[in-house]
Amino acid sequence: MKKWLCAAGLGLAMVASAGVQAADKVAVVDVMSILQKMPEREAVAKQLDTEFKSRATALQQEEKSVQDKVKKLQSGGASIKAADRTKLEGEIKAFQQKAAAFTQDSRRRESEEMNKLVAKIQSAVKTVAEKEGYAVVVKADAAFYASADSDITAKVLSQVK
């Protein structure tokens, strides 16, 4: 029994020391900070703005007309003919569908471009982690505590620039 307790104690000590060694190889990176400071982010924003500018302008111009139609429906009430009401409602619904499609398309494209930037950051994190000998890299917003020595954000940022 005594030998068993001694072996269990020795095993726990080995596990604890291995845990300490692994903790020395953990780094933290603030991905959001890197995203905000990346020069490509502004270029991507300009690219997306240019890509969707004509559709946005067309929708803005059409919006005033649709607002007038909504007011006409609200103020006209029961005095508007059924056919006219149906036509106005159809035009309003068509505009809403165009606006929803625009929003969906712009969000999809923004997500695609952000995924490219995140992939670039992930590659840089991997490069820095391998170079510095880190076994694990944790996102800063997922860490409860991290010493300044384990923060590799600046190194990753210089890698992506």
Task: Read off the pLDDT of each residue in 99-117 and give the average, rounded to a whole number.
Answer: 96
The pLDDT, as a whole number, for residue 160 is 87
pLDDT of 12 higher than 70: no
Closest CA to 128 of 151, 98, 105, 99: 151
Q: Which helix (H) or strand (E) holds 137?
A: strand 136-139
Q: Which superfamily, per CATH, for 25-160?
A: Skp domain (3.30.910.20)
pLDDT of 86 higher than 70: yes
Task: Read off the pLDDT of each residue in 86-91 and give the average, rounded to a whole number.
Answer: 90
Lowest mean pLDDT among 53-57, 77-81, 135-139: 77-81
The pLDDT, as a whole number, for residue 76 is 74
Give the end-to-end CA distance of the chain in Å, rounded to a whole number: 61
pTM of the full structure: 0.69
54-57 LR contacts (CB < 8 Å, sep 24+): 55/102, 55/105, 56/102
